[in-house]
Each structure stands twice: as structure tokens, then as C-alpha cells.
Amino acid sequence: MNFNITASNIKDIKADLEIIVVIDGDLQHASVKDRKLLKKAGFSGSQDEVCHLIEKKRLYVGAADLKGAAIRPAVATAIRSLTGKKAYKTVKMATYVSHPRCSASIRAMVEGLVLGGYTFTQYKSKKSECPVKTVEISLEGRDAHEISMEVAARAVHNGEIAAEATNFTRDIVNTTPDDCYPEIMANIAEKLAKNNGLKCNILTPKALKKEKMEALLAVARASRHKPRVIHLAHTPKKPKAVITLVGKGLTYDSGGLSLKPADYMVTMKSDKSGGSAVLGLMKAISEMELPIEVHGFVGAVENMIGGDAYKPDDVLKAKNGKTIEIRNTDAEGRLVLADTLAYAQQEVKADYIFDFATLTGACVVGVGHYTSGVMGFNDEVKELVKKQARIAGELVTPLDFNDYLKKTIKSEIADICNISNTRYGGAITAGQFLSEFIDEDHKERWVHIDIAGPAFVEHAWGENPHGASGAGVRMMLRLIESLSRDTH
């Protein structure tokens, strides 16, 4: 999708369709030209309600207010309604600004268009896609004082980068396990590094053995697809901060010998969502040329069954020397992350470490399909994630650690057990398990984000389509952008 931004009046721009956002049901607003027709059609302008006046070449959509969280899904819903309608190649839109010099709603509009225009058609013989190739954005009615061309252009540019990176992540997650296994994830990372000027190091099983990542290797053992650990780095000169991102990249999670029931196994190609989000983030960060050093690590593994599989009753030794009693092979993500987190800390001394993982079904039960759980020791950093997620249009909620739950992952025979002895509080006990693999000097700098709910949903919601959402990408990009502004 190409974006052109112009000071011309909207009526003078040639396009196949105009998309008009009706704010807070205000049908009397000057931008609403077809009041009578809209009334006749029963259109009230409520959030995400669309009304396409084909003859008028206008598509109306409602948004509750001018905030990004309302504009983004509204515009996404509008453009999604055009899927497969080949005639609409060019679309024009006016701009909506909440405060003078505030370009947030312009960025949200662009994000909504790119995110809403996403379709995953790789496995379809007949492809029904978004027809829109060009979007003309008019700054009509906005004097340079209210919003300058330069500020608007930057908002459009950044919105495009953020949403394209989210779509890149969605593509990886939606790809089937036999088309996207650890080696392929590593290939994707290598290609990205080459295109975007990132440093790239891929650890193959031999290197993983040398690094003593025995927990990760045990999870990978029964699969014909051998594991990889990916390390990408964006290293600008004189960085304002150093950030490490770590992602769970289970290209398939069958549960292993503690096999998942059939209904629960479906969608487990999405267990690579954390790692895929890290790849999408590295793409966006390099394209925005942010003055922050960012390291992205992905533990890419397939959890399968076989004569060679790791077992409940095994005791594994992680990279940091801690021993882990295995009581359930389906709690594999924390084992892969334990070693990947330990390796990441050995390689980089970071100001902040964030990990992303579809770690627990318990997180989905606890907070629902649309929200991620945020855990860690430092309330300020958790708050920062929450604030930036809200701006980015992602839902998160803090889940606090506590010492009572910590006791439930004790082991009689090893340093720690990979599951809790209670079936309650599973998202938190998984987070507390990970904390055992964070060094003392990194404890206050680390936050774990359980994206098991929003990463993959089998219906469209907000600006997200059926399937992968790209959860984590926009919230963390915003956070890193905010650090690049705050620290100068």
C-alpha cells in the first residue's frame, strides 16, 4: 500500500473511494455529506459500524473518539470490508487530529489501513485480497500550525513501518509448521539481517551443545527439525540505551510425551508468536533507525514425540547450571526460554530485557483472549509497558508475582520443577520459573510478557484478522521509540 500526503482539498483528489470516519456519532459534522442517505440506511456511526454508499463512492465508518484505540480498528474494519472488491485501487481520506500538533490519530489511521488490509492467502487457490494499492491523505483544513506537512509525513511513515512489521510477524506465525520450522525461522532472520543491515548469528545444535543449552536441546530432541537460536542486532553509533528482546519460537508444540488433546493441539503453529514478534520488531527498529542498541534472540524449537523424546521424570541441567525436574513435557516454552534468556544475558549486558512468549493457557483463562499478562520485579518497567501498549492499541495487564506461588514450583529432587503443584495461577508460576534464569543484576531490568491470548485468535477482532495478530510488535516498538526520545 502506497501513501501520498497532500495539502489539496479532498474533493479535488481523484480516487475510486473516499473513506470517512464519523466521530462519536456526529452525523452533523461538515465531513458527513450524505446525512439523509445514511439515516435511511440506519447508520448511526457507532464504533466499527460501516456504511458503503456505492453510487456516491463513499464509505462511512464510526469511531467512538479521536484516540488511536478507536480510529485504528474503525479504519481497519472499513478497509477489510473491501476485501476481494477489485475496483477499489485508490482510496482517499481526510485527516483527524485530536490536539494541535498531535499526529497520533494520523499514525493510527495508517496503521489501521495496513493492518486491516492484511490477508493471509498463501494456501488459498482463489485469493481474495485487499484491492487498495494507493491511499491519498489530504491535510485539507489543517493549517501548518495545527499539523505541519513534515509532522504528518513522519506519522504516516512510522505508522507504515509499525504495521508492515506487524504483518511480517503475522505471516511467519500463520505459516504452517511444515513450512516454517527452526531452520526456516533462521533463514527468515538471515534474510532480514541482509536487507536491513542487522548483525546476525545463528546457533546450530553443535554451538548449542557447546553453550550447554541442554534444556532447549532436550525439548528439541524428538523432532526431525533441528533447533536454532537466532541472535539479531541493531547497533547504531552512540546508542541511548541497550535493549534485549527474547522470544519463544516453538514452531510447533504438540505437548511432547505429555501430548496435548486433539482440540488443544490445533493452532499450536502459533507457539512461535513470541519469536516472530522479535523478528518483526528487529525489522521495524532498523527501518526507523532508532538510536537504541537492540538485540533480538529467538529460541526456535519444535516440541514433538518419539523414541528420542524427553520425558516426565527427566532432570535437565540448564545453561546457568540450575537443574530442572520435568513433570510435564508440555511446559516446554519455559525450558527453551530458560536457556535462551541465559544465553542472551551472557552475550549482552542490557538496560532492559523483555521476553515474549505464548507461555500458558492459564494466562488466557485468567485475562481472556485479547490481553497479554505482564510480569516482573520492577513495577515501573511494567507500568511503562502498560502505558506504551495502550498507546499502541494493545491490551496488557500486570500479574504480580508472590512468594506463596513461588513455593509451588519447588522440586524434591532438583533445583526447581517445570510445573507447579497447583493448577491455579499458572501464568504467574511460569513467570516465576523464568525468573530463576535471570541473573541478579538483571532482575530489576527484566519483564516477561505472556502473549498466549492475543497472539492467535480464530476470529477477527479490532484491527486484527482471523489468526495471527502480531501481538507484542506495536507495544514494544512504541516503548523503544519512547526511550529514544526520553533519554536525550
| Window of 178-186, 224-232, 265-273, 363-371 that interacts with Zn ion by CB under 5 A | 265-273
- d(CA 133, CA 29) in angstroms, rounded, equals 29
Grid cell at residue 5 = 500526503
Give the one entry of Zn ion, ligand BES, none that residue 360 binds, where binding means its C-beta sits below a cut-off of 5 to 8 angstroms depending on kind. Answer: ligand BES
Query: Is residue 177 within the footprint of ligand BES (CB under 6 A)?
Result: no
Angle ∠(270,467,121) on CA atoms, nearest 5 = 110
The active-site residue out of 260, 317, 327, 387 is 260
The residues facing 250 across adjacent strands are: 301
Query: Between 10 and 468, whose beta carbon lies closer to Zn ion?
Result: 468
Query: Between 284 and 451, whose beta carbon lies closer to ligand BES?
Result: 451
Query: Between 77 and 258, whose beta carbon lies closer to Zn ion?
Result: 258
Residue among 243, 339, 249 at smallest CA distance from 291: 243
Binders in 338-377 for ligand BES, by CB under 6 A:
358-362, 364
Q: With both helix axes pointing from N to C terminus, report the angle between 473-486 and 149-174 in degrees, rounded to the nearest 10.
A: 140
User: Percentages helix, strand, coil for the chain, rounded to the nearest 5?
Assistant: 40, 20, 40
- Which member of 90, 204, 328, 411 binds ligand BES (CB under 6 A)? 328
Query: Is residue 333 within the footprint of ligand BES (CB under 6 A)?
Result: yes
Give the one entry of ligand BES, Zn ion, none that residue 457 binds, where binding means its C-beta sits below a cut-off of 5 to 8 angstroms depending on kind. Answer: none
Query: Is residue 428 within the footprint of ligand BES (CB under 6 A)?
Result: no
Q: With residue 111 as reference, give the H or E element that holds it.
A: helix 104-116
HSE-CB for 249 with a 13 A CA cutoff: 37
The active-site residue out of 92, 170, 269, 334 is 334
Query: Is residue 253 within the footprint of ligand BES (CB under 6 A)?
Result: yes
Give the CA distances from residue 53 to residues 12, 93, 295, in Å, rounded to whole numbers and listed in that order.
19, 15, 48
The pairing of beta strand 242-253 with beta strand 352-357: parallel
Give the CA distances from residue 240 to residues 39, 158, 162, 312, in Å, rounded to whole numbers and listed in that order.
54, 20, 21, 45
| Window of 56-64, 84-92, 249-257, 384-392 that interacts with Zn ion by CB under 5 A | 249-257
- Which member of 49, 211, 214, 253 binds Zn ion (CB under 5 A)? 253
Amino acid at 96: Y
Tell me the site size for ligand BES, rule CB under 6 A.
16
Beta carbon of residue 403, minimum distance to ligand BES (angstroms, whole number): 20
* 338 DSSP assignment: H
Q: With residue 278 as reference, give the H or E element that holds it.
A: helix 273-288
Give the CA distances from residue 484 to residues 30, 197, 244, 393, 487, in Å, rounded to whole numbers and listed in that order.
39, 19, 15, 20, 6
Query: Is residue 271 within the footprint of Zn ion (CB under 5 A)?
Result: yes
Query: Between 131 and 333, whose beta carbon lies closer to Zn ion?
Result: 333
Query: Is residue 355 within the footprint of Zn ion (CB under 5 A)?
Result: no
| Window of 92-100, 178-186, 323-331, 439-447 that interacts with Zn ion by CB under 5 A | 323-331
Query: Between 253 and 355, whose beta carbon lies closer to Zn ion?
Result: 253
The residues facing 62 across adjacent strands are: 22, 47
Beta carbon of residue 229, minimum distance to ligand BES (angstroms, whole number): 18
Beta carbon of residue 364, minimum distance to ligand BES (angstroms, whole number): 6
Active site residue 170: no
Beta carbon of residue 71, minimum distance to ligand BES (angstroms, whole number): 29
Query: Between 259 and 348, whose beta carbon lies closer to ligand BES?
Result: 259
Beta carbon of residue 325, minimum distance to ligand BES (angstroms, whole number): 13
- d(CA 22, CA 282) in angstroms, rounded, equals 35
Phi, psi of 18 (to 5 degrees): -110, 135
Residue among 238, 276, 231, 237 at smallest CA distance from 470: 276
Give the one entry of ligand BES, Zn ion, none that residue 452 binds, where binding means its C-beta sits below a cut-off of 5 to 8 angstroms depending on kind. Answer: ligand BES
Active site residue 334: yes
- Which member of 49, 211, 271, 302 binds ligand BES (CB under 6 A)? 271
Query: Is residue 330 within the footprint of Zn ion (CB under 5 A)?
Result: yes
Query: Between 114 and 419, whose beta carbon lies closer to Zn ion?
Result: 419
- Secondary structure (3-state) at 455: coil
- Which member of 182, 280, 333, 472 binds Zn ion (CB under 5 A)? 333
Distance between first and last Cα of the chain: 34
Query: Between 119 and 303, whose beta carbon lies closer to ligand BES?
Result: 303
Amino acid at 374: V
Beta carbon of residue 144, minimum distance to ligand BES (angstroms, whole number): 48
Contact predicate 374/355, CB 8 Å: no
- Secondary structure (3-state) at 179: coil
Contact predicate 260/330, CB 8 Å: yes
- Which member of 452, 457, 473, 479 binds ligand BES (CB under 6 A)? 452
Give the one entry of ligand BES, Zn ion, none that residue 18 binds, where binding means its C-beta sits below a cut-off of 5 to 8 angstroms depending on kind. Answer: none
DSSP per-residue string spanning 135-176:
EEEE-TT--TTTS-HHHHHHHHHHHHHHHHHHHHHHHHHHS-
Given the rule CB under 5 A, which residues bind Zn ion?
Answer: 250, 253, 271, 330, 332-333
Given the rule CB under 6 A, which residues bind ligand BES?
Answer: 253, 271, 328, 330-333, 358-362, 364, 419, 426, 452
Catalytic residue list: 260, 334
